Amino acid sequence: MSGLPTSDNTLGDYLRDRRTRLDPAAFGFSTTRRRTFGLRREEVAQRANISSTWYTCLEQGRGGAPSADVLDRISRALMLTDVEREHLFLIGLGRPPEVKYRKSEGVTPRLQRVLDALEPSPALIRTAIWDVVAWNRAATVMLTDYGALPPEQRNILRFVFLDPRSRAAQYDWQSVARFVVGAFRIDASRAGATAEVEPLVTELCSRSPEFAAMWRDNDVQAPHGDGVKRIRHPVLGPLTFEYSAFVIDGRTDLTMVVYNPVDPDDLARIRSHVPPS
């Protein structure tokens, strides 16, 4: 017999806990004549546009399982984070919510400082549809100058298939390109971004016969969390990196990729080539 505490109403406990953490004044509700902290049940129901009776039943463990739509409304009413919303669905329906892609608005200054602190190792942050939204100076020198591109052009697939510098830098461009297409397909599907990537895919198919052929193959690749990348830099010559990819905690829509030079001589050459801040 486990000594861990148990609950007969996990969903109800979770809803009650999230409700009592909210400040009524922040939502325009009166704070007078309240015996407990947080929002009242009827206030949550009002914000979620469901009946107060139904919401009360959910907190009390009565009335059966809620629909995904109801849980989605409640998650917005309770101002849940993405992680909290996922947990709500898991305990309420036994599955995570349907993925809906949301366009990234960039990164915080703190994340940018992390990228800058990694120099002289090139590092960048990309979205689930492989748009680059942040980078350090080393990435500008070693990979491409993302800052010189319009935001809508800062996409890794665009660089791989439409920029001749990418082909010149790779020792085996075909293998790299095929991996990128397969990994991109998986990432976009996981993020629920099929509709969002359709214009990019259509454009690349029209401008790159090689992309069109690889896309028609429908191959998928599990994105590698780490590996080795070799490039031919136009100034520094051959360089070898170990790369590592990390999903950013609290921002599952973003991935940080860091390229660490393998050879100390490569590191010294890169350091001398990256301008000081």
- Give pLDDT tens digits for 121-144: 999 999 989 999 999 999 998 999
Same-domain status, 59 and 119: no
Considering the domain architecture, whether residues 62 and 145 belong to the same structural domain is answered as no
pLDDT at 1: 32
As given in the structure block, the two tokens for residue 23 are: 């400040």
pLDDT, tens digit, 9 for 90 and up, residues 254-267: 899 999 999 999 99
The whole domain housing 52 covers 10-93
Is residue 36 situated within a structural domain? Answer: yes
CATH number assigned to the domain comprising residue 175: 3.30.450.180
* Amino acid 221: pLDDT: 78
**28-67 residue pLDDT tens:** 888 888 877 899 999 999 999 999 999 999 998 887 788 9
Assess whether 236 and 114 both reside in one domain. yes
Same domain for 16 and 124? no
Q: Is residue 103 part of a domain?
A: no
Angle at 152 between CA 148 and CA 106, to 5 degrees: 85
* Neighbour tally for 52: CB within 10 Å: 15
Q: Does residue 269 fall inside a structural domain?
A: yes
122 Cβ contact partners less than 8 Å away, ≥ 6 residues apart = 135, 136, 138, 139, 141, 142, 143, 241, 258, 259, 270
Low-confidence ranges of the chain (pLDDT < 50): 1-8
Handedness of CA 192, 197, 198, 202 (dihedral sign): negative
Query: Which amino acid is residue 2, in one-letter code?
Result: S
* Same domain for 119 and 246: yes
Do residues 72 and 114 both lie within one domain?
Answer: no
Are 138 and 269 in the same domain? yes
Q: Would you say 255 and 125 are in contact if contact means Cβ atoms under 8 Å apart?
A: yes
Residue 155 lies in a domain: yes
- Whether residue 147 sits in one domain with residue 68: no
| pLDDT value of position 5 | 34
**pLDDT for position 3:** 35
